[in-house]
Every structure is written in C-alpha cells, then in structure tokens.
Amino acid sequence: MSRINPEKFDWERIEKALQVESEYGYKNIQGKLYRFSEFLCLTFGDTPPVTNLLVAFRWQETAKKFARYSHLTILEREDLINQTLNLIGEVKEMIVNKPYYHPVAEEVKSLAVAEVKPPSNTSVAPVTLKLDDPVTLLKAISLRQGELLKKLQIVTIRDLLFYYPRDHIDYGRQVNIKDLVAGETVTIVGKIKKCDCFSSPKNKKLTIFSLIIIDRTGEVKISRFFAGNFYSNRGWQEKMKRQFPRNAIVAASGLVKQNKYGITLENPEFEVLNSQGGNINSLKIGRLLPVYPLTDGIPADVIRNGVMEAMVALPQISDPLPVILKQQYGLMELQEAIARIHYPEDQDQLSHARRRLIFDEFFYLQLGFLQRRQEQKESRIAVSFTPNGRLIEEFNQILPFSLTNAQKRVIEEIIKDLQSPSPMNRLVQGDVGAGKTIVAVFAILTALQSGYQGALMAPTEVLAEQHYRKIVGWFNLLHLPVELLTGSTKTAKRRQIHGQLESGELPLLIGTHALIQDPVQFRNLGLVVIDEQHRFGVQQRAKLLSKGRSPHVLSMTATPIPRTLALTLHGDLDVSQIDELPPGRQPIQTTVLTGKQRPQAYELIKREVAQGRQAYVIFPLIEESEKLDVKAAIAEYEKFSEKIFPNFNVGLLHGRMSSADKDKALNAFRDNETQIIVSTTVIEVGVDVPNATVMLIENAERFGLSQLHQLRGRVGRGSHKSFCLLVTSSKTPDSIQRLNVLEQSQDGFFISEMDLRLRGPGEVLGSRQSGLPDFALASLVEDQEVLVLAREAAEKILLQDKYMQGENSLKDELQRRYQKLIGNEILT
C-alpha cells in the first residue's frame, strides 16, 4: 500500500467521474476500461495525501465504501458521492494551504535515526510503521507518555491497537434541539447565534466559553469551562471567539443535562462545519467514541489519537486466520476489526468487530490446547496396558451391582486410552453419586494386571480414607494389598509403606498430598488417579506425575463445570462424562427457608430421626476466620445437643479437630451412634452415609450453587426419601433466585451452568486457583457460542494440517497469544 503523491493525484478525473455518475442517476456507469465504482476504488487507494488523521481515516473509510458501491441503494450512492465530493474539497484545500509534508514520516526519521533508514526515494515517502515499533514513534505519544503506557503493558504499536476500549460513548445520535432529553449523549447541529468567552468574575482562573446555538426547532445555550492561567489570557479568548463566528454552522456533542437554567450539554465538544451537513472532523463529534481503561497521566485523547494515527500509518495488518474460516464463520478481516473496535461507525459494526476479536481470543487458546495435547501424546511414551486380564475378570464377578451405561462407556474410553502408548490425560466429570470411584478402580486394575503400580490422590483426609475403605474391601477379595498415606500416618507405618512401594510389593497407594512428599518413591508407577482434581494446584499434579515415567493420568471431578469453562480450563484434556445416576436414586426434595421458618426444619429433623434416619446440619466456614467459625460451630453444637435436640445424640465435626477426633466423629455418625452431625464444610466431599436423609444448610447464600449441590449429595444415598433445607437470612432477590435453582434441579451440569450465569466464572471456580485465561474481550458467559465455533475451527485446522506446516503466520500468532493467555498455568 502506498501513499498517493498529491501532485500526481488526478483530482479532476475523480471529480469528473463523481459528477458524471451523479448526472446519470447513480447507475454505476461503465467507462472505457472500468465501471465507475472500480475506477474509484483504484484511484482512491488506501491512504490519502494528508496529515489530518481524521481526514485520513475518513478517506480510508470512503475508499472501502466504493468497494461495496454496487450493493448500495440509489440514495446511499447519492450520499456517498456527496460526501466524497466534500472530502475531496477539504483535502484539496489542505494541500493548497500547505505543501505536501508528512510530519509522521519526519518523526520516524528524527526519533529513530539509528534503526530506521529513511526511505530512499523520498518524494513519496511511505510511512511504514511496523506493529512491533515502539508506540513513541507515533506523533500522538511522547516519550514520557510512552513510559506511563508501560504500566498498561503498552509498549509497541501492536499493544496499543490491541488495547481495546472498555466502552463507547455514542455521539452519533443527531437530534433537534427541541427533542433534547436529559441523560442521552447526542449531537446537535445548528447556527451560532452568540458566542462568549470570558474569565469568570468570581474566579479569575476560570474561563467560561459559551455558545447559543439555534436550529429550526429551538435554541440552546451550551457552556464549557476551562481552568488555568493559560485560558485567562485575552488573546486565547479572542481567538476562540474568532473560531466560532456568528451564523457559522456548528456541531456540538455531549451528555444532555437539565440544570436550573434549562437544558444543556455537559462537557460538550464543538466543531465548526463548512456547511450544513458538512463533514465533521472531530474525533468526538457524531461518532462512537472509544473509552479506555487508563492510568494516571495519560489523557484519554492520547490513546484515541495514537490508535487513529497508527491505523492510518500502518501498512496492512496481516491476518493469520485462513480465509476459509473467515468465510465459514462470517468473520470480519482482522485489520478492519481492529479499526472498528476502536472507531466503529455504528453499534452493528462494533458488534461484528467484537465477534471477530473474541473469536481470535478463543481460537488461539483452543489451538494451543489442541496442539499441546497432540505434542504430549507424541513426545512421551507411556506403557500400554493389556485391556483384559485376570483382575478385571475377577472384579466383574465381585461387583455388587451392574454398571450404568454411562459408567460402561467411560470405562471403555479409559481402557482404550490405556492400551495406547501415548499417555492418557483424561478428565472424568460426573455428578455427585454418579459412581466415579468404581470407574477409577477399573482403570487401576488395568494397570495392576499389567504389572504396574497405581496412585490415587484425594484432596482431604476424609475423602482419601473413604476411598481407601471402599477399595480395601474390594482389594481384599482380589487378594491385593493397598495402603493409605495421609498426614496423620504414623512414622513406622510410613516407613513400611515407602519400602513396599520401592520394592514393588505394594501395587496401590491411596492418600492425600502426603503422596507427593519427597521420600515417596514408586518402583514402576503406571497410573495416577486424581480425585477432585480442581482442588489441586498445577505444581501438585505435576509432582505426582513425576513419580513415574510418563504415567497415564485419570482426573476426576464431582463438580461438573459448564462445557465452556471446561474447554477454557482443560481444553488440552480428553473429557468423559458420567451423565447418568445409578438406578433407584430419588430426587432430594429441596426447600429454601427463611430464618423464621427454621422451626419447620427442626420438626422435619425430629420426624426423620424418630423414624431411625439421620441428619446433617452445616454451617459455612470462611477460611480467613476459621477460628471464629469453629467457635460458632461449637456454640451451635451445644445449642443443638442441649436445647433443640436434647433427646438425640449430636456429633460435631470441623476442620480444626485432629484427624483422630474427626475419624471418631464420622465413625460415630456412620454407625448411627450420633443421629445428627453439626459440621462445617469439611463434610462436603464424598462422605457416604446412606442412612442420612436430611441436610440442613445454614447461611446457604454464602455458598456457591455447585458447592450446595455437593453438600446436598451427602443425602439421598440410600433407599429413603431425602430432604435438603436451605436456610437463608438474605432477602436480596438475587440470592433467593440463585437458591431457587436448587429447588428446581438435581442436575449438576445445569446447576453449574446457572451458577456461571448468575455469579460469573471467577466466583464459580473460586478465584484462588481458577487459572482462567485473561481474556481482553471474551466473556465465558456471553460468548459461549463463539467459543464452541472457535474450538471447532481449531480442530479443523489441525485435522487438515497436523503440524500447521503451511501456516507459518498462524504459528507465530499462536505462540504470541497462547503463552500470554495461559501464563504459567501449564500442567506438564
């Protein structure tokens, strides 16, 4: 793309063509060589011979419109031609007044003598700023401002262009003066009836500039205030008055305000026009004006002007996205999308631009995930296990129930992975009680019967113990040893376990974080199972894997997350869903209660316990004040055991108790020695007492929906009808609405989807270890549809060209973007 040399530019021919086209009724007339629109496209070029950025920008916009000329209606064509004639008039005037000179080009030369060679044929020096040039090469941005922009991570021109506005102010609505309504941002165009500019009599440092503007429908007085000595200067004030002479046409934009003097515009922007309907050259008037998140010392206009200048001065921004994808998904060109996200002509264009840029954010993330998955599969060699063997056969025979179809399907998927020499990295999602443990056992036995060891890691002692208890029963029948290792395992036992692991005598170790502590050495670890995987950090997971040579990995979670979140967090994993509960489960009747209705809850508990059932009473625990909450739990426990249910045995469970005491409390509950257990959320995951039928949760509004669903899953595990009572003192409609979701649904996926919509991804995942990529525009709630398309597109790319050999620019862009998004949250 080159800049047009104004001396060689054939103004007359263009003007002639425009005139002729208008005389012939805008029919896109055919000339000797070209149609009218083709001729205009060719002669207009992309970059005009002028220095005024906005004019340059409008020039580009106009050129683009001629490319679509044949699609325009006659009226639109007429408009376009009039605008173009105006524009040419303006540009000619600028050139006559000022010989061709390009300050941007000068700036490049003077600032970067060392690196940038001045172009050799200087008569039409094209300004070739590059995306990776520092922003300070732009005229709009000084070196000092460049320093400040670093705080916003803006260093290069690319950074600046990808620094998207957080919003736009719509100055585009042009209204009549009589129709001004407070609260709207609008533009009015009218004649200047009176102009004043003077220092405030009360405060000499304040200068008041005011215009009375009239149009066919009325008149309005609009003022603007300037503070500082600079403006108190008579000369400046007189100059302002000369710029806004009586009867000149002026456009004014701003927020309409009603004050005691009547209606006016607040913080207005003014611009005098050449004629009624003349073009407006202000960045602000009549447009959607971008608004940026800013840092101290950077006026908004610096970024606005910088972006505008960069767009005019940059050569084509290359678009790495294959054309076919753009066509298929109806995506705007990258260059255009960037221009439009900053300076859209209307809301529609803005949303198209957003869609393209959001697509990119998702697309490169997914491409990165998929590529990483592929690399992992190819770079590491795992052991391939034999699918059939003695252990699996025997286990099938001792199974106390038949597997659900979902369990069968997922087991098949896992065993297929385990037969392959590329390491498995699979996540099993399944609602509470869907029966994940047994699925994991199938995987473990597959490893064991091939002569390898397995490890199962759970996030809490309670959970690890429960897995152990269940698995040890089955393993005894199969004559297989299994051990439990947690923080409270005694030293002697610990030593014994370490020894047996190293010798290979011990085929399976179940435990907590203790599993990854250093002295633990396996002889030949072939499979790692991580339960509630989201509760572990990346490092912890990685450490467990390092205990073997490329072990297969099976992760499990009972906190199903919506597909969009799953794709964003674990796009590099294979995901299996156990989307079916074992037969005979009854829905848990769930009710939201106010504090006043609490006695109803106690009645229900009494009735159930009288019939031999058991109940949980849960108090929320906030980690920062764990001590306090423990105190509260103890106080509640006393209240329950002494006042409310003096006739029943009440137990207590909280995180500050020693493991032995926790065990005791849980065992007592399991054995029905205590009928009611007052607990903090330590009970949350996995605890399995089928005789419990009531779950009462206090301050339910403090929990996320998925967590409540988890807690609720502690009941409804036996054959009796079960109840969940959510007590809340909150009266905000939001939290009541949220809790109502649980009354209506028992489906963990649906619940987490609703939680996502109502609270947003950060809250749903828990901000602490959410690991969510930092998207600039994309929202995991609003833009789900685009995410799914982007995933599909990324899959297509790799399917066609596994190593993206024909796509160098795509690879470069991937590298730039993926690393930035994913940071160091990489699970190796």
Sites of contact with ligand ADP (CB under 6 A): 401, 403-404, 407, 430, 432-438, 558, 582, 688
- Tell the smallest beta-carbon distance from residue 641 to ligand ADP (Å): 29
- Tell the smallest beta-carbon distance from residue 428 to ligand ADP (Å): 9
Which partner, ligand ADP, Mg ion, none, binds residue 582 by CB below 5 to 8 Å per kind? ligand ADP
Instruction: Answer whether 526's CB lies under 8 Å from 454's CB.
Output: yes
Alpha-carbon span 631 to 548, nearest angstrom:
43
Nearer to Mg ion, 222 or 685 (CB): 685
Which helix (DSSP H) or strand (DSSP E) does residue 66 occupy? helix 53-67
Nearer to ligand ADP, 48 or 433 (CB): 433
The stretch near Mg ion (CB under 5 A) out of 280-288, 428-436, 533-541, 640-648 is: 428-436
368 phi, psi to nearest 5 deg: -65, -45
663 phi, psi to nearest 5 deg: -55, -45
- Tell the smallest beta-carbon distance from residue 448 to ligand ADP (Å): 19
Alpha-carbon span 533 to 527, nearest angstrom:
15
The C-alpha torsion from 727 through 732 and 733 to 736, rounded to 10°, is -10
Which partner, ligand ADP, Mg ion, none, binds residue 688 by CB below 5 to 8 Å per kind? ligand ADP
Alpha-carbon span 804 to 798, nearest angstrom:
7
Q: What is the separation of C-alpha 61 from the centre of its chain, rounded to a whole number of angstroms?
A: 31
Residue-wise DSSP of 490-518: -HHHHHHHHHHHHHT---EEEESGGGGST
Nearer to ligand ADP, 433 or 526 (CB): 433
Alpha-carbon span 323 to 672, nearest angstrom:
67
- Tell the smallest beta-carbon distance from residue 583 to ligand ADP (Å): 7
Nearer to ligand ADP, 403 or 478 (CB): 403
Nearer to ligand ADP, 368 or 560 (CB): 560
Residue least distant from ligand ADP (Cβ): 435
Alpha-carbon span 443 to 454, nearest angstrom:
9
Measured in Å, how far apart are the chain's first and last C-alpha atoms? 45
Instruction: Answer whether 761's CB lies under 8 Å from 780's CB.
Output: yes
Tokens of 330: 């109806």
Long-range contacts of 10-17 (CB under 8 A, 24+ apart): 10/43, 11/88, 11/92, 13/43, 14/40, 14/43, 14/44, 14/88, 15/85, 15/88
Q: 7: closest CA among 43, 47, 40, 49?
A: 49
Which partner, Mg ion, ligand ADP, none, binds residue 430 by CB below 5 to 8 Å per kind? ligand ADP
**Residues touching Mg ion, count (CB under 5 A):** 2
Q: Cβ of 803: how many Cβ atoms within 10 Å?
A: 11
- Tell the smallest beta-carbon distance from residue 443 to ligand ADP (Å): 13
Alpha-carbon span 738 to 300, nearest angstrom:
39
Which partner, ligand ADP, Mg ion, none, binds residue 29 by CB below 5 to 8 Å per kind? none
Nearer to Mg ion, 686 or 761 (CB): 686
Nearer to ligand ADP, 132 or 412 (CB): 412
Nearer to ligand ADP, 576 or 728 (CB): 576
Tokens of 477: 């029948």
Tokens of 265: 């515009």
- Tell the smallest beta-carbon distance from residue 399 to ligand ADP (Å): 8
The stretch near Mg ion (CB under 5 A) out of 430-438, 484-492, 588-596, 634-642 is: 430-438
Which partner, ligand ADP, Mg ion, none, binds residue 134 by CB below 5 to 8 Å per kind? none
Q: Is 265 exposed, middle or buried (0-12, 13-18, 19+ CB in 10 A)?
A: buried
221 phi, psi to nearest 5 deg: -105, 130
In the block, residue with structure tokens 């991937």: 814
Which partner, ligand ADP, Mg ion, none, binds residue 169 by CB below 5 to 8 Å per kind? none
- Tell the smallest beta-carbon distance from residue 686 to ligand ADP (Å): 6
Tokens of 214: 């009239």
Which partner, ligand ADP, Mg ion, none, binds residue 404 by CB below 5 to 8 Å per kind? ligand ADP
- Tell the smallest beta-carbon distance from residue 541 to ligand ADP (Å): 19
Alpha-carbon span 379 to 382, nearest angstrom:
10
Instruction: Answer whether 728's CB lies under 8 Å from 597's CB.
Output: no
Nearer to Mg ion, 436 or 563 (CB): 436
Which partner, Mg ion, ligand ADP, none, binds residue 689 by CB below 5 to 8 Å per kind? none
Nearer to ligand ADP, 566 or 593 (CB): 566
Tokens of 571: 């796009």
- Tell the smallest beta-carbon distance from residue 667 to ligand ADP (Å): 17
- Tell the smallest beta-carbon distance from residue 437 to ligand ADP (Å): 3
Sequence letter at residue 2: S
Nearer to ligand ADP, 383 or 438 (CB): 438
Nearer to Mg ion, 58 or 426 (CB): 426
- Tell the smallest beta-carbon distance from residue 579 to Mg ion (Å): 16
Which helix (DSSP H) or strand (DSSP E) does residue 222 occupy? strand 218-227
- Tell the smallest beta-carbon distance from residue 413 to ligand ADP (Å): 16
DSSP symbol at 429: E
Which partner, Mg ion, ligand ADP, none, binds residue 435 by CB below 5 to 8 Å per kind? ligand ADP
Which partner, Mg ion, ligand ADP, none, binds residue 141 by CB below 5 to 8 Å per kind? none
Instruction: Answer whether 333's CB lies under 8 Å from 319's CB.
Output: yes
Alpha-carbon span 574 to 424, nearest angstrom:
8
x-or-dash string of contact with Mg ion, 435-474, rule CB under 5 A:
-x--------------------------------------
The stretch near Mg ion (CB under 5 A) out of 97-105, 413-421, 433-441, 520-528 is: 433-441
Under DSSP, is residue 690 helix (H, G, I), strand (E, B) or coil?
Answer: coil
x-or-dash string of contact with Mg ion, 528-547, rule CB under 5 A:
--------------------
In the block, residue with structure tokens 């160091």: 824
- Tell the smallest beta-carbon distance from residue 722 to Mg ion (Å): 18
Which partner, ligand ADP, Mg ion, none, binds residue 433 by CB below 5 to 8 Å per kind? ligand ADP
- Tell the smallest beta-carbon distance from residue 474 to ligand ADP (Å): 10
Which partner, ligand ADP, Mg ion, none, binds residue 434 by CB below 5 to 8 Å per kind? ligand ADP
Nearer to ligand ADP, 190 or 459 (CB): 459
Within 649-688, the residues that bind Mg ion by CB under 5 A are: 686
The C-alpha torsion from 498 through 504 and 508 to 511, rounded to 10°, is 20
Nearer to ligand ADP, 432 or 821 (CB): 432
Q: Note the residues at the interface with Mg ion (CB under 5 A).
A: 436, 686
